[in-house]
Amino acid sequence: MLNVKDVKRDFPVLKNRDVIYLDNAATTLTPEPVIQSLSDYYENLGASVHRGIYHLADETTEKYESSRNRVADFIGADSPDEIVFTKNCTEGLNIIAYSLHLWSDMEGKILVTEMDHHSNILPWKFMVDGSERFELEYVDVTKDGVLDIEDYKSKLSSETVAVGFPGISNVLGTVNPVEKITDLAHENDALVIMDGAQWLPHRPFDILEHDLDFLTFSAHKMLGPTGLGVLYGKKELLNRMPPPFGGGEMVLNVTRGEVKWSDPPQKFEPGTTPIAQIVAFGSTLKYLEGLEIAEIEEHVNGLTRRAVNRLSGIPYVNIYGPREGEPRGGLVSFNVEGIHPHDLATALDSLDNIAIRAGLHCAQPLHEVMGLNSSARVSFYVYNASEDVDRFIDAVKEAKKILGGEK
Amino acid sequence: MKDKPKIYNQDVLHHYQNPYNKGKLDDPDFSVTEENPNCGDRITLQLKLKGDEISKVKFDGHGCVLSIGAASILTQMVRGLSVGEASELTLDDLVDNMGNPPKMRRNCVSLSLDALKDALSEW
Ligand SMILES: Cc1ncc(COP(=O)(O)O)c(C=O)c1O
């Protein structure tokens, strides 16, 4: 069992600010060891990695690459060469889309889902718009907020180049059947890309078990520093993919006429990367592993169940996403009848310093399918206690009293 | 629960719960709809002029306390103003009449004002 009291003590923000932070699906708070690791870089390290011919550079490079090793271990990748550091999850997805676009013998259909975040829709939209080689199609979401597997099967064909989907939906909380999606795609020789932004912070993940071709996620959603993401790609794919960006450190040989790329992952990491953040992400993973991911999953599931149960008991609250008992990530989207979600967010903030998300959560197509203008969302993480859920519920009831029904 | 500041200024809440000038004009000179794609709020503002004076104004639509409250307050502010005077209204003028709503929510407040500016720019 996670000891929330102890965990909370690791988070300076929770000492410095009076806040019940329930917007963890957007970004998470930072624990002391990660902050320490960032300052350690700025105080004791600090050199361009892979380039400097001096001790300091050597030491920095070693820490830097040990972070990459840790990431590889964390997701069970075969080799650290399959780990590309990016700016965030979004950039990882963009790199894949642009790279497939540049891959001249690729053509056909891209499938994403109606429950994808804009960051797994727009890169593909940019890719197909005006292109004669590519088309984009969306897999339906059912009324119960899960992926319509029959629809998926019917849209998959030998024409399908790639399938993108969120491991866990950032609005519905739906936990998608990774293996089924991947197996069906591979039967059609399509590449599979999982947006892992909402999965990696909460659940154990083994890339080899799932046989994904690509996986992307963001450090800042799992207690890590901002400005950093990860793109995992199978080695043989990264080897063959053309890099969408050029710059320093990604080439072996440049003449005016010819360029020879470095091997992956450097091929996809042009220029100076966020060195401090990469080093600190190593400490982040160490911290998470110290808490144990399976324990985190259990803790967050408990809070989510409590929130779903208590919200379901309120007659004027509508909850979205999978039915009770179905797997759900650590978040709940909902609406309070007669109260605009933005007003609810302002109300919870004013009443009890409770931070929740309100709006479209970067998933406008999904809201359209759900027939909603917007929704409110709470999402949980390691420092949230069941008391936070209860205070949130009390504040929702209080807000309803004050803001009442719409005219 | 701690003793915290009121969620919204009581006037604004009152305007939201009992909005003034809500509905449609029969034959408006201008009708402009503004939408906030972040939250789906939508306000249609209609104006009727007599000479260069705003003689009638109505709004319709759906939204949060701030967008509906602001629209109601704005319609009260502009009736009887000349087009020139109304064009000079700023977001600060509106905010001043609303008891300082949260800064993060200013685009809710400005929805009806944007509609007004759009309408008057056609004049
Ligand atoms: C499912 C999902 N995908 C992608 C993203 C994008 O993450 P980032 O903004 O860190 O690139 C998010 C976060 O907002 C998300 O929830």
Pocket test of ligand 1: the residue of A113, A362, A364, A375 to mutate, having most ligand atoms within 8 Å of its CB, is A362
| Res. B1: pLDDT tops 80 | no
Q: What's the CA gap between A116 and A363, in Å, rounded?
A: 7
Structural domains of chain A, ranges and CATH numbers in brackets? 4-24+293-403 (3.90.1150.10), 34-289 (3.40.640.10)
Clarify whether A362 is annotated catalytic. yes
| Res. B10: pLDDT tops 90 | no
Amino acid at A348: L
Hey, whose CA ends up nearest to atom 13 of ligand 1? Answer: A26
Task: Check A340 against B8: CB less than 8 A apart.
Answer: no
Q: How many Å lie between the centroid of ligand 1 and the Cα of residue A225?
A: 14
ipTM: 0.84
Which chain B residues are closer than 8 Å to A342 by Cβ? Answer: 39, 64, 66, 105, 108
- The helix/strand/coil state of A279 is helix
Q: Which atom of ligand 1 is nearest to the CA of A166?
A: 1
Which chain A residues are closer than 8 Å to B7 by Cβ? Answer: 343, 346-347, 350-351, 399, 402-403
Choose among A293, A363, A404: nearest CA to A122.
Answer: A363
| Residue of A362, A369, A385, A403 with catalytic role | A362
- The helix/strand/coil state of B57 is strand
Task: Check B1 against A403: CB less than 8 A apart.
Answer: no
Task: Check A373 against B41: CB less than 8 A apart.
Answer: yes
> For residue B9, what is the DSSP state?
-
Low-confidence ranges of chain A (pLDDT < 70): 405-407
Widest distance between CA atoms in chain B:
55
Range 282-341 of A in CB contact (< 8 A) with B: 340-341
Pairing of strands A251-254, A259-261: antiparallel
Task: Check B40 against A350: CB less than 8 A apart.
Answer: no
Q: How many Å lie between the centroid of ligand 1 and the Cα of residue A45?
A: 30
Task: Check A404 against B17: CB less than 8 A apart.
Answer: yes
pLDDT tens sequence across B62-112: 999 999 999 999 999 999 999 999 999 999 999 999 988 888 889 899 999
Q: How many Å lie between the centroid of ligand 1 and the Cα of residue A18?
A: 26
Q: Chains A, B: CB contacts under 8 A, how many?
A: 64
Q: Which residue of A has its CA nearest to B40?
A: A373
pLDDT for residue B5: 53
Q: What's the CA gap between A352 and A256, in Å, rounded?
A: 62
Q: In this structure, is the dihedral angle defined by the CA atoms of residues A142, A146, A151 and A155, taken in order, positive or negative?
A: positive
Choose among A38, A354, A379: nearest CA to A201.
Answer: A379
Write out the two tokens for A393: 């519920």
Task: Check B108 against A342: CB less than 8 A apart.
Answer: yes
Hey, whose CA ends up nearest to atom 14 of ligand 1? Answer: A26
Interface test with A, best of B4, B13, B41, B65 (most A CBs within 10 A): B65
Hey, whose CA ends up nearest to atom 12 of ligand 1? Answer: A197
pLDDT tens sequence across A134-190: 999 999 999 889 999 999 999 999 999 999 999 999 999 999 999 999 999 999 999
Write out the two tokens for A157: 């064909």
CATH classification code of B10-121: 3.90.1010.10
pLDDT for residue A405: 59
For chain B, domain boundaries: 10-121
Query: Which residues form ligand 1's pocket by a CB distance below 6 Å?
Result: A 25, 88-90, 117, 119, 166, 170, 195, 197-198, 218, 362
Which single residue is written with the structure tokens 């963890």?
A24
Asked if omega into A265 is within 30° of 0 (cis), the reply is yes
Q: What's the CA gap between A52 and A48, in Å, rounded?
A: 6
Which chain A residues are closer than 8 Å to B105 by Cβ? Answer: 342, 346
**Quick one: angle between helices A341-352 and A386-403, nearest 10?**
120
> For residue A360, what is the DSSP state?
-
Which chain B residues are closer than 8 Å to A347 by Cβ? Answer: 7
Which chain B residues are closer than 8 Å to A372 by Cβ? Answer: 40
Where residue A292 falls (left for φ over 0; alpha for ψ -120 to 50; beta otherwise) is: left
> For residue A54, what is the DSSP state?
S
Entry pTM: 0.92
